[in-house]
Chains A and B, each alone.
Chain A
Amino acid sequence: MSAASIALNRFGYGFSAKSAAPDDPRRFLLRQMDAFDPAPAAIATRLGTRAKTGEMIELLRRLRQDTRAMAAMEQAGAAAMAPAMTDDMTRQEARAAALDGLPPEYREKLIEARRMLADDIAVRVNLAVSSRTPMAERLVHFWSNHFSVAVGKPGTQFEAGPHEFTTIRPHVFGRFSDMLKAAVLHPAMLIYLDQFQSIGPNAPFIQRRAARGGGDQQRPRGLNENLAREVLELHTLGVGGGYSQDDVTELARALTGWTVPGIGQVGRFAQTQPSGAAFVALVHEPGARRVLGRSYAAGEAKQALAILDDLAAHPATARHIATKFARHFAGDTPPPALVARLEADFLKTGGDLASLTRTLIEAPEAWVAEPVKFRTPFEWLVGALRLTGVEALPAQRIVGALTQLGQAPWGAPSPAGYDDIAASWAGPDALVRRVELAERIARNVPQDGVIARAEAAFPGALGESTLTQLQRAESGQQALALLLVSPEMMRR
C-alpha cells in the first residue's frame, strides 16, 4: 500500500468522492484532528428525543407484579425482547405477532425503543459515510467498542446511541480519564452491567427497610459487582493488570448509588448527574474504600470518580490501552515498539488522547506497506457506502445490512466489545455475505468509471489481478460489485 492508500484506508473509512485526496498523508490525518466536529447537528437533534429509560424500567417492574402480563411476556419471549435488527418482512411479522402478546403500554415502549435505536445506528453510519474526518470517526468507533454496551435489556435501546454520542465523541481527542468516567457512569453502561440496581449492604436504605421489618420481598436487592469487574478487566487495567477479587468488591461498593433516574422507591431522592445518570446516596455503601492499595475517604458520588481517576492513570491501564490502540491500526499482533511508544506517551501525558493519536500517526510501524488488518464488517460497509456514494441510507436498510454482516453497532456479544482480529471476521460465510451485499449495493448506484474510482480508492495500491477482473466484468454494475469485494477492499 502507498502512504496515500494507508492514510485513506488503514486510518480512515476509505475513499469518498467528496473528500480531498491525501497529498501529504500525515498532514491529511493531523488536519482531521482539528476539523472533527464532536457534536454535529445530526446528533444534537437526536438527543432531545428521549429520557424514557427510567419510565421503561419502572413499567417493566410494575408488569412483573402482574402475573397475567408476565405470562404473556414469557410467551412473547426472546422474539419480542430482541432489538429490531433486520429489514426482513417475515421477521417483522413474527416480531409483531410476539409483540401482540404484550401489555399495550409496554408494547408501545418497545416499539418506540427499537425505532430510536435504529435511527441512532443510522445517524452513526451516515455520519461516517459522509464524514470529511473519517479517521476521527474511526476513533469514535474504536473507543465506543472499548466501552462497549449492548442493547437488549429494557431501556438500553434508548441509551446506547447517546452513550457514544455524549461520552465518547467529545473525548476522542480529550483525556482518557474524562472518557472513562463519562462512559462507565452513563445510564447505558449502568443498565448493561447491572449497576443500576446494585445496593450497598449497609446502605441507609437497607437499614431503614430492616427497621421497618422486612420490606419488599419481590425485589431482592444487594451488591452487584459486574460493572466493577469489567471496569478493571476491560476498561482500565486489563487482564493480568494486578487487581484482586477484593479490589473488584471494593470498587463495586464505591459504585453503589450510581443508577438511572426515575426508578424505584428511592427514585425521588436521586440527584441527577451531568451524564444523565443519577446518584442516590440512600443506596450507597457508606465508609472509606481501599482499591489497589490506596484509600478513598467516604465521599458519596465522588468516591467512585476518585477511584476511576486513579485507575485511568495506572501504568497497567497505559499498557492495556496502548496495546489495543496499536492492534487496531498496526496489526493483530501489535508491534512491540509501537506499543511501547504509545504506552510511554499515555503515561507522560496522563492519558491525553490527542497526543496518543499524534504519536500513532508519526509512528513508522503504522505505515508498513503490507496490509496489516482484515476489515471488520462495519469498516467494510462504511467503506463500501463511501466508495459507491450512497448517502443517507434508510435506517432499516442500514440495520439490516450490519446485522447480516455480523456487526450491528451496540450489539457486541460481550462487554469486551467486538473482536479486533482477522480470525474473528475472515470466515467463508462472512465473505459470502459481503458478496451478496456488494451485488445489491452495486445495483442501485452510479456504475460508471469503476476503474478510475478503484485507482482513486487505492492510490498506487491496486493489484494487477484485481484490475484484470474489473476490466473483464460484463457491466459497470458487476465491476463495482467485484471492486467492493476485492482483496484491496477487504484489508487495510
Chain B
Amino acid sequence: MHAGFDRRTLLAGSLIGGGTLALPRIAFAQGSGTRNLLFVLLRGAADGMAMLAPVGDPGFEALRSAALADYEGAPRLGSFFAIHPALAEVAKSAAAGEALFVHAAATSYRERSHFDGQNLLETGGTAPYAAKDGWLNRLAGLMNAGAPSPLRALAIAATVPLALRGSAPVSNYAPSALPEASEDLLSRVSQLYAGDAELGPLWASALETKEMAVDDGMRNLRDASAAGDLAASLMRGPQGARIGMIELGGWDTHANQRGAFARSARQLDALLAAYKAGMGAGWADTMVVVATEFGRTARLNGTGGTDHGTGSAALVMGGAVRGGRVVADWPGLADRQLFEGRDLAPTIALESVLAGAVAEHLRLDPVRAMAQLFPGRSDAPLSGIVRG
C-alpha cells in the first residue's frame, strides 16, 4: 500500500492502456459471485474541498480561511490533503488501505443546476434528460445478461431513485412507521394485483424484500448508522441484493457551511462504518462508491457558504480497494486555475471513476462497461482501483 498523492501516474496508466487494457481476470459479465456494490449518492452537491481539503495548496488558505481550523489535526492523506474530521471512520479505512479518494472529478455536466446535475449523474447520459433510465439499472442489466435469473438490485430509500430506474428489475425498501398489514390482507392484495402488469411484479418484489430486512424498531432512515445496518442486512449473504443504492441529503450548503457540512459528513461517516461492520466477512467482496452531482464554489460566499460549482471529490471503499491514496490530477487553486474563475477545475471524469471502479470490482470489461453505462464519452475508464 502506498499512502499519498498519486499525481498523474495512476491516471496516466489507464489512459495509455485505453480500450485494450486487459486485466487477466476479465471475461464479460462472468462470475461476479457474491460481490456487492453500494452506490451512495450525496444529493445537493457535496463540497469536495471540505470533504478532502487540499491543505497543501497555497491557494486554499486564501479561499477558505474561515474553515481552516477544521483541518488542524485532521487525518492526512499524504502531505497535501486532509480528510474532514467528521469523516473519522472513513479516515481509518483510508489508513488501513481500504478507502480511496478521487479529487477534482466531475461528470460532463458544466452548468450548475442540482436537478440537471443529478439527472446526468444518475442517467449517465451525455446531457440531462437525454437518457431515461439509470446507469445503475443498466449495470444490473449487464450483470443479468446470460445469467440464469436477474440479480437483486435494491434502493434503500422510500422511492426508487433515477440511477436505479430502468428495464432491469429493481425494488426499494425503507422502514415504515405504520403498523404491519395482516397476512390475510397481504395475500389478498397478491390476488388483487395478479393480473396487473405493473402492480403485480412490484408487489412480488415488495414481499420478497420484506422477508430479509433487519429493521426492528426502525421507523425511518434518519439514523444513518441504522440505515447502514439495514443496507447491510439487505445485501449480505447469497440472497442479498448485489447492487444497492442509498441517498444522503443535506449537502447544499449555501450559507453557514461549516456546521452544516460537518453534520452531513458525520451522517455519511456513520452510515459507511455501520455498513462495513454489517457486511462482516462479505466486506472483502464489497465496494462502496460515494459520489455527488457536482462540487461547490472554491471561495466561501457572502453568507459563509458555497454556491453550485464543478469539480468535487468521490470516495471508493471496500475490502479489495487499493486505498490509502488520492487519485487526482490536481488543477490548483490560483484564480486563473479555477474553472470559470470560481470552481475547482475538473480534471478527471467522474464517469470514468464510476465505470472503472464497478467494472474492476464486478469483473466486467471496463471498456464495454463504460460504453454501456456512460455512452458517448471519450474518456477511458479509470483502472487500478481494485488490488490486482
A contacts, CB < 8 Å to B: 74, 77-79, 82, 86-88, 90-91, 194, 197-199, 201, 220-226, 229, 233-234, 239, 245, 400, 403-404, 406, 413-414, 416, 423-433, 435-440, 465-466, 469, 472-474, 478, 481-482, 485-487, 490
Within the complex, the shortest CB–CB distance from B203 to chain A, in Å, comes to: 6
B contacts, CB < 8 Å to A: 43, 66, 112-116, 128-129, 155, 158-160, 162, 165, 171-174, 176-182, 184-186, 188-189, 191-196, 198-199, 202-203, 205-206, 209-210, 217, 219-220, 222, 249-250, 254-255, 259, 263, 267, 300-305, 307-308
In angstroms, Cα B301 to Cα A142, docked, is 34
Asked if B302 contacts A428 (CB within 8 A), the reply is no
A-B pairs with lowest CB-CB distance, top 10: A222-B302, A428-B206, A436-B178, A406-B158, A428-B171, A428-B205, A220-B304, A427-B172, A88-B177, A469-B192
In angstroms, Cα B3 to Cα A171, docked, is 61
Asked if A427 contacts B113 (CB within 8 A), the reply is no
Asked if B192 contacts A429 (CB within 8 A), the reply is no
In angstroms, Cα B115 to Cα A239, docked, is 10
Task: Considering the complex, give the chain A residue whose CB is closest to the CB of B43.
Answer: A413
Within the complex, the shortest CB–CB distance from A408 to chain B, in Å, comes to: 11
Given contacts A220-B303, A437-B178, A469-B192, contact A429 B259 (CB under 8 A): no
Task: Considering the complex, give the chain A residue whose CB is closest to the CB of B180.
Answer: A436
What residues of A have a CB within 8 angstroms of the CB of B177 in the complex?
86-88, 91, 400, 403-404
Given contacts A427-B159, A432-B206, contact A439 B182 (CB under 8 A): yes
Asked if B302 contacts A429 (CB within 8 A), the reply is no
What residues of B have a CB within 8 angstroms of the CB of A427 in the complex?
155, 159-160, 171-172, 202
In angstroms, Cα B62 to Cα A101, docked, is 36
Most-contacted residue by chain B among A224, A429, A472, A485 (CB, 10 A): A429
What residues of A have a CB within 8 angstroms of the CB of B115 in the complex?
233-234, 239, 414, 416
Contact sample, A vs B, 6 pairs, CB 8 Å cutoff: A86-B177, A234-B115, A239-B115, A429-B159, A436-B176, A436-B179
In angstroms, Cα B203 to Cα A469, docked, is 16
Asked if A433 contacts B176 (CB within 8 A), the reply is yes
Asked if A229 contacts B113 (CB within 8 A), the reply is yes
Task: Considering the complex, give the chain B residue whose CB is closest to the CB of A225.
Answer: B307
Asked if B172 contacts A428 (CB within 8 A), the reply is yes
Within the complex, the shortest CB–CB distance from B223 to chain A, in Å, comes to: 9
In angstroms, Cα B222 to Cα A198, docked, is 31
Within the complex, the shortest CB–CB distance from B14 to chain A, in Å, comes to: 33
Asked if B206 contacts A466 (CB within 8 A), the reply is no
In angstroms, Cα B17 to Cα A294, docked, is 52
Within the complex, the shortest CB–CB distance from A303 to chain B, in Å, comes to: 20
Asked if B222 contacts A469 (CB within 8 A), the reply is no
Within the complex, the shortest CB–CB distance from A253 to chain B, in Å, comes to: 13
What residues of B have a CB within 8 angstroms of the CB of A432 in the complex?
176, 181, 206, 210
Asked if B192 contacts A224 (CB within 8 A), the reply is no
In angstroms, Cα B162 to Cα A487, docked, is 24
Given contacts A423-B160, A439-B182, A469-B191, contact A91 B199 (CB under 8 A): no
Given contacts A239-B113, A439-B182, contact A490 B206 (CB under 8 A): no
In angstroms, Cα B155 to Cα A197, docked, is 37
